[in-house]
Amino acid sequence: MKRSKFSFILVLMLALSVFLVACTSGNETPPTEEPGTEEPVAEEPQNLSGPLTLSGSTSVEKVGLALIEEFMALNPDVVGTYEAIGSSGGIKNAADGVTQIGTASREIKDEEKAWGIEELTIAYDGIGVIVNPANPVEDLTIDQITKIYTGEITNWKELGGNDEEIVVVSREDGSGTRGAFEEILGFEGKLTQKALIAEGNGNVQTTVAGNPKAIGYVSFSSLDNTVKPLKVEGVEPTAEDVINGTYKISRPFIFVYKEENLTEPAKAFLDFVMSEEGQNIVEENGAIRVK
Amino acid sequence: MEKDMKLDKKNELKEKLAHYLFLFNATVAIISVAAIAFFVFYRGLQPFIPGNAEGNYNLIDFLSGLEWRPSLGKFGILYMIVGSLLATFGAIILGVPVGILTAIFIAELAPKWAKKIIKPAVEMLAGIPSVLYGLFGLGVIVPWIMQISPQAQGQSLLAVIIVLMIMILPTVITITESAINSVPDAYREGSFGLGATKLYTIFKVVLPAAKSGILAGVVLGIGRAIGETMAVMLVAGNPIAGLPKSIFSPIRPLTTNIAMEMSYAFGLHQEMLFATGVVLFVFIILINLILSRITRGSVLK
């Protein structure tokens, strides 16, 4: 009897350990680096090491983390962190030297510039407003789009289109694209109750492509020709018009820092971000490259 | 003598090993259920316990709220509960008669060649991944509803009901069919012997005898319908507020609420999604309790 109890415990422990091993191995996804990408390290005379600290915009988090990850893979002794606390907090942190680099997903205000910080625009984020190709409407103003999304304009007739109800399509709460769209247009939390919610850029496009009365928005990187992107204030949604500032539903991703707070890894990181490789990562993560 | 004893010992060891092998496999299921239940309840009940690190939320407001705006701190799910229940109810009303009649046809009436076509078709239906049902719904059902709907969009309660109705068919059909098959032939022979027609026998003798098995199929269908996520997410419309006013209104089922937002959510928002999961879990537990009540004393057992 004693022996059977013992072996039962043994079996249970075995089961548990299998369970635990399965759990932990799921958590750490080892970065699979091709040997080729390690090459650039050889150019650096000294091995970079030490902390690399960023804080700021939640919208920049995805791009920022991707850049940090790649940079850490190239420089294994650097320990990078990104704290998503919002643009204002990030700029303040950079000015106070709490983190080496602060990130913002909006223009830097004049009073913030007075803190003596440097700015580096690393990318742009652009959002295209889309309708069904069958919709005759071509061009909307910022004000009209805001009124559509808050439910004040409900018929295409009011916008020079057909006499049809507008089907508003938005994204799920927490989506970066939705956050940016509401923030740029200034109607945070006021989305009309009638809006359909589609999960992801792809579903927004499918919904708009399937309904001639629908309007939606997607990030530039996922626009395709099943839908018609609208001009905003007469400007086509193109990367050039975002960069030269004429397309309004867009925002810059900015890194701010004080020169004296930058360590060697931080300087190398800024160079890396603006390099061809860094800008490729920016593009892969849905933003518009600046170079 | 000694050899026999050795053999006995060997067999005994084998038996024991097999015993623990089975026991180990059984514990996998039990541990999984316990772990999932603990995890969901632990995370989901936090917001309602005073002093929670991520902030508190009133349970009554949560269960009776008609608006879901996490960025404004509004987490009401009553309109989702209503949407989920209406969708499930509608799917059962439409799907169960079709399923039962199909099962009767396969079990009692169909000629061999017809059986050969229908049975694999039903099995195939059960094997189709749910996202494909969703794509079918988005590509075919939603545009069709858009044409007949007084509203401007096709994403609606009706679209969810139709998709779910198709999805529960295999469950209802297979379980009803096996319940009918397990009714002893003596029942039918007795009925025919008394001069009853085939239809009379089916509806007055076979179906009543298979009743608890059929009900089990219905309850399992309810479970499938209320838990379905991927397919309904694509056709429901998922609005952020408002009770459905007609079958053409969009709804936001509990399951899609969790699936849509979990990837971005953090803090209280994330815990409220787990709380939505707790509500769903309670529904599933209720369904299983009902099921075990029904199947007690069933022919299926």
What tens digit of pLDDT does each residue of B128-187 get? 999 999 999 999 999 999 999 999 999 999 999 999 999 999 999 999 999 999 999 999
Q: How far apart are CA B238 and CA B257, in angstroms?
A: 8
Test B20 with A8 for CB contact under 8 angstroms: yes
Chain A residues closer than 8 Å to B83 by CB:
none
β partners of residue A165: A155
Which among A174, A188, A206 has the least Cβ separation from residue B138? A206
Test A197 with B260 for CB contact under 8 angstroms: yes
- Supply the pLDDT for residue B28: 94
- Could you tell me how far CA A207 lies from the centroid of its own chain? 22
The band of A7, judged by pLDDT with boundaries at 50, 70 and 90, is low
| pLDDT over 50 (residue A30) | no
Which of B28, B71, B149 to probe by mutation at the A interface, max A CB count within 10 Å?
A: B71
Q: Which residues, in sequence order, are CB contacts of B197 under 8 Å at separation 6+?
A: none
B252 to chain A, any CB pair closer than 8 A? The answer is yes
Contact B160, B258 (CB under 8 A): no
Greater pLDDT, A71 or A32: A71
Domain extent listing, chain B: 2-48, 80-295
Closest CA to A226 of A197, A248, A201: A201
Task: Give the nearest chain A residue to B240 (CA atoms).
Answer: A193
Q: Give the A:B interface size as CB pairs under 8 Å.
A: 91
Task: Give the nearest chain A residue to B12 (CA atoms).
Answer: A4
Which among A12, A165, A199 has the least Cβ separation from residue B152? A165
- Supply the pLDDT for residue B137: 94
The residues in B 59-98 lying below 8 A from A, measured between CB atoms, are: 67-72
Test A196 with B153 for CB contact under 8 angstroms: yes
ipTM (interface predicted TM): 0.82
Test A197 with B31 for CB contact under 8 angstroms: no
What are the pLDDT digits (tens) for B265-282?
778 999 999 999 999 999
What are the pLDDT digits (tens) for A225-242?
899 999 999 999 988 899
Q: Which CATH superfamily is domain B80-295 in?
A: MetI-like (1.10.3720.10)
Chain B residues closer than 8 Å to A165 by CB:
151-152
CA distances from A143 to A157, A245, A248 (A): 16, 18, 11
What are the pLDDT digits (tens) for B186-237?
999 999 999 999 999 999 999 999 998 999 999 999 999 999 999 999 999 9
User: How far B171 CA lies from chain A's nearest CA (Å)?
Assistant: 28
The band of B291, judged by pLDDT with boundaries at 50, 70 and 90, is confident
β partners of residue A219: A127
Q: Average pLDDT for residues A189-198, to the nearest whole number?
A: 93
| pLDDT over 80 (residue B3) | no
Contact A17, A46 (CB under 8 A): no
Q: Average pLDDT for residues B73-84, to the nearest whole number?
A: 95
What are the pLDDT digits (tens) for A162-172?
999 999 999 98
Which among A12, A19, A197 has the least Cβ separation from residue B239? A197
Helix axes B211-227, B254-261, angle to 10 degrees: 30
Test A210 with B139 for CB contact under 8 angstroms: yes
| pLDDT over 60 (residue A104) | yes
Helix intervals (H) in B46-137: 59-64, 78-104, 112-127, 130-136
Chain B residues closer than 8 Å to A198 by CB:
238
Test A172 with B71 for CB contact under 8 angstroms: no
- Supply the pLDDT for residue A16: 52
B288 to chain A, any CB pair closer than 8 A? The answer is no
Least confident residue range of A76-80, A287-291, B86-90 = A287-291
Count Cβ neighbours within 10 Å for each residue of A114-136 and write b for 16 or more, e otherwise.
eeebebeebbbbbbbbbbbeebe
Chain A residues closer than 8 Å to B143 by CB:
210
Contact B235, B163 (CB under 8 A): yes
